Structure 1
Amino acid sequence: MAAFNVACVIAVVAYLLTSATCAVFRPTSAFPEPAARSLYEFGFDVFDRTAQSSDADANVVVSPISVFAVLSILTPGLGGNSYQEVVKALRLSEFENPADIEAQMCLRVFANNSHYTLRRANRIFADNHVVILKTFKESTKRFHKAPVKRLDFSTKPRQSRSKMNRFVAKETHNEIPELIPEEAVTTFTKIFLVNAVSMKAAWSVPFAKHLTRPGPFMVSPTNQVTVSMMRSDPHRASKCRFEDLDTLDAQVVLLPFKGLQLSMIVIMPRVAGDFSRLSGPAARDEIRRYLRASYAAKPLSRLWKCDIRMPNFTARHKIADMENTLQEMGIRDIFSPEQADLSPMTSFPNAFVSNAGHEAVLELDEYGVKAVAASFITVSSRNTAHEVVINKPFLYFIRHEPTGATLFIGKVVRPDQ
């Protein structure tokens, strides 16, 4: 079979290829779990917006399931329109109990498996003086396995940040040591919601290490670069499926991992570097239709022998201001001190979401894929104090208030003199 040169990776989609039933949602072969279709729509929405805000030639990687998880932890702590906006963005509005649906999917996704490692860790970090309501605490523990750990944000924000970053670093094998930036933790911080995900999976048949060598990679029709290209071992039968997706002017490759319960789907535009047909709701719908038709034919049971050539690479991407992305997706009230309704979470007044962030790292080589991701949401109280900055020359006087007597008058032009 002719060699297939994979020249550009635009999506890494890991599916657990199992079946399930649900009274509310009719499963399909591509999305057996009720929440999986919602995660697909949400994930590509996040990816599209992230890619559009990044440099055209930048590698982008996000973990939809990590962002989905941290918002799902937040959801039972929301009320009113704050709740409705988040559930709508997560594409879970049709479900009576979104937390249960998300938890059902995650229990299966993160179940122990002898062929690969796929783990999650959820944690709620709360200030020592903040009361977390019992119903929220019980819900997050039951559905998300998210225990509460107390920290001293009010007097030790820097030390608290270090402890949270150490937690993330440990869960991501030190690939994400500084998820939470310094400005995200202040004395007004009340609660942090954190999710971390890690994955390690081997190809069903590894590439031949000794055949990896420099090869051409077309960044655009007029720009060719030399990169490290892997190649299948001719003495071992590498398996894949590939076909044309004419409606999007692209080619699709399905690469299985060991155990055939995880797969990597690669979509390569025919015109090198032209992703214009592969972004937006229309492209998302077309890819979903392709997946539905493809998985109806059980592609992992009908793999072909392939001679695969593709680059090894490491991609890292950080969304430091994920609150902007989420607001573009219609999640607005939670970021407003006046509109946010976090009353099901805490009785602390003026609580709102002040920061959100995400980081993902993916490494692909001859043996498989290693990937980690982490997301956070910061719940703070509104700073009711008015900010006053005296940073220009000023006149002053000191007076005795009971009598009104003026004791000193002066002016400051150069405080440094």
Structure 2
Amino acid sequence: MGISKDLTEEDVKFRYINEAITNKGWSKDSIFMEQKVKFTDGKISLHGNLVHREKPKFADYVLYVNKATPIAIVEAKDANHSVSHGLQQAMTYAQMLDVMFAYSSNGEGFAEHDFLTGKERTFAIDEFPTKEELIERYKREANDGSGLNEQELSVIEQPFCTGQNIFPPRYYQRNAVNRTVGAIAKGQNRVLLVMATGTGKTYTAFQIVWRLLKSGLKKKVLYLADRNILVDQSIQQDFKPLEKVTHKIDFSKDKNHLEELGSYQVFFALYQQLIGQNDAKNYKELFPNPDYFDLVIVDECHRGSAKDDSNWRNILEYFSSATHIGMTATPKETKYQSSIGYFGEPIYTYSLKNGIEDGFLAPFKVINI
């Protein structure tokens, strides 16, 4: 006998879906399951002088490998709908959140879409995969069926940096971090991230560095920028949890204390400091071994070093054995400079339009004067 058609969506969740999921090890009291997860703020709409927010997006259930890695979305519908009625919505949310498995349920069973294989199926309410089964499928099916390598597993298991003054990543920041560390774990050496101004590029860079250092995939990091304010803000704000191993390069002081540089892991530098007067190539004096860094982050990579014949590009070429991550809101593609030509196609893009649609950025009006 089917379940009562009078039950609301909340009734169905409370009576049937909660139990079906938690019985398989997805505990509500642990890090493996969250209910009613809000992942956008809701678009800000302007009507003349009136401003209001549209509804934010919520997922009914998000299941996790760990807090850094969501693995599944489950959407619930009331008993008047078919078992697969919510699957398209679950798939849309899963694609936004970079999640591999999407499910829908009306309390009578589940419909599943597996993004790793492209297959869909339905099954009974008591046949939801256990935590161990689903995580094992993810590890086995990833990378077109060749599975995850040891480096990928180690970086997946490394959580984000959390603390009293550190906000958890927004969904798109988590996507950007996870895609970047995953690509580097696979051996990709040039990575481009395109994120709109105001969406937290430096915070994203910090979480990438944190997870690569803590998982042991990288040991020495160079963060390149072309303005002092970019460097100082990064050190004092987003990178503060790493302050004990962070150093801002000052050539005039550092050249007399080269032996002390070895105690640091994350170096911040202006191109101008590393080049020096009349293209002096200060970077060679400070770091005579071109393999010194295994990760270079290029902030605002559409400027300066984007040009093939730039003397700033020489720094990137000197440290060419390192993994290079380019970060920009506006990748430049001209005859003389190409962000994509150097770094490859963006591994993740979060545009101004995305930010406005999600309500993380305010809409704007263009006023001609």
Normalised TM-score (structure 1): 0.20
Q: Relative to total residues, which structure has the larger helix share, 1 or 2?
A: 2
Q: Rg bigger for which structure?
A: 1
Bigger share in strand: 1
Q: When the two structures are superposed, what TM-score results if normalisation uses the length of structure 2?
A: 0.22
